[in-house]
Amino acid sequence: MNSQRTVIAEEQVQDAFRRGRLILNYRPGDIVTAQALDTAERLNIKLVDRPQESPPPVETDGVTATRRALYRRNPGWATPKPTESFRAQTLTKLALVGAGGVGSHLAHLAAIRQITEEISLVDILPGAAESIALDLRHASGITGSNTRLKGGTSLDLVSDASVVVVTAGRPRTPGMDRSDLYRINARVIQGVGEAISTYAPQSVVIVVSNPVDEMTSVMLDTTGFDREKVIGMAGTLDGARFRDALAQAAGVSVADVSAMSLGSHGNEMVPIASKATIRDRPIGEILNEETIESCRQTTIDGGAAVVRLRRTGSATLAPAHATLELILHMCGHLNGAIPASVRLNGEYGITDSVVAVPCKLSMNGVAEIVELTLTESELQQLRRAADAIRSRLGIRES
């Protein structure tokens, strides 16, 4: 009896993309759907017809095979949110200012995903950026990435970048609040901002340096860019931490949780419990109020918890993934709204303050600020966060 053939559908290609794979092997005789071919081309995944001796493939029953062939998205494979897009574009050049933990991890992620033709890394420490570029070039012999990589100490390496990600600055250490970093890192951001406005005036800037909200404001003022062109990586990471906390409390996979966090990337963070769901049910139906509040506090303390354990630095892996998610939304690999720190001009009743709110992104930066219906308490917390950030910057409300 002949063994059954496996159906390679769109879902398997998307799973390979999420895992950072560039090649998806299948056996001679397997069925590759038209949707899988389209998705592979869009996501730069190479489908290779190659025998696999061991382990033997899992056989698929006829009903499942037919369902996967006929339907574009199988609930067992598709990520809950955000959905993947058919408008994916590739950046011409991604510049990373700061080649420390976040910058190096982001360079690695961007290279293996091949979302940009070129990556330029800049770091004040001689050899730091160059070594990462060389290391990643060596890795390309394994990953198959054809992304061009450069590294150096001169800020003119950001020239003509489509997107500039700024991670430069001093990291947090135990006992240090994000606000303590303001005076130290503000001067760094001002210097970088001046270089960006000179060498890459057309770019979109993503600020990762802490304190993110304040540094995003400094970058806006220094470059003179429109508010759509400068965003901070804050709510993206905070939302991921909130989802993790809820998943841990409920004993479910984080993929079963939908939740976001807005406001400040600090003590005035606002995890939005009213919009959070676990397996499509409001979290209040699954967790009691005390547990939900504990999850909120765990989220707010998430960055500090990593700092306490690491002692000599702050989180690097999760911030790199969160920054990549922003870029994937910009390029159209992912669609829908995503939290980002932006300067508001009346949205949510807030003016002239940078806080994390849901945004739709494009290659030109912020395409739309999405105003959600929040509870009165959440809205007031968001406005208090804006007031606190404005106060730390010495800005009076207009």
CA 208 to chain centre: 11
Among 106, 285, 265, residue whose Cα is nearest residue 181: 265
Residue with the two structure tokens 């800005």? 395
Q: Measured between alpha carbons, how far is residue 56 from residues 53, 66, 145 in Å?
A: 6, 21, 28
The total of other beta-carbon atoms located within 10 Å of residue 213's CB is 30
Q: What is the largest CA-CA distance in the chain?
A: 79
Q: Are 228 and 269 in contact (CB under 8 A)?
A: no
Question: Could you count the other beta carbons within 10 Å of the beta carbon of residue 187?
Answer: 11
Q: Cα separation of 15 and 77, whole Å?
A: 7
Alpha carbon 141 to chain centroid, angstroms:
26
Active site residues: 265
Tokens 């390029």 -> residue: 331
Please answer whether residues 334 and 361 qualify as being in contact, where contact means their C-beta atoms are separated by less than 8 angstroms.
Answer: no
For residues 223 and 230, the answer to whether their CB atoms sit within 8 Å is yes
List Cβ<8 Å contacts ≥24 apart for 292-295: 292/246, 294/245, 294/249, 295/242, 295/245, 295/246, 295/249, 295/271
Q: Which H or E run contains 197?
A: helix 182-199
CB 168 within 8 A of CB 209: yes
Angstrom distance (rounded) from CA 202 to CA 354 = 21
The DSSP element (H or E) to which 94 belongs, if any, is: strand 94-97
Q: Which one, of 344, 374, 346, 365, lies nearest residue 356 by Cα?
A: 344
Output the six-digit token pair for 379. 């809205």
Three-class secondary structure of residue 361 per DSSP: strand
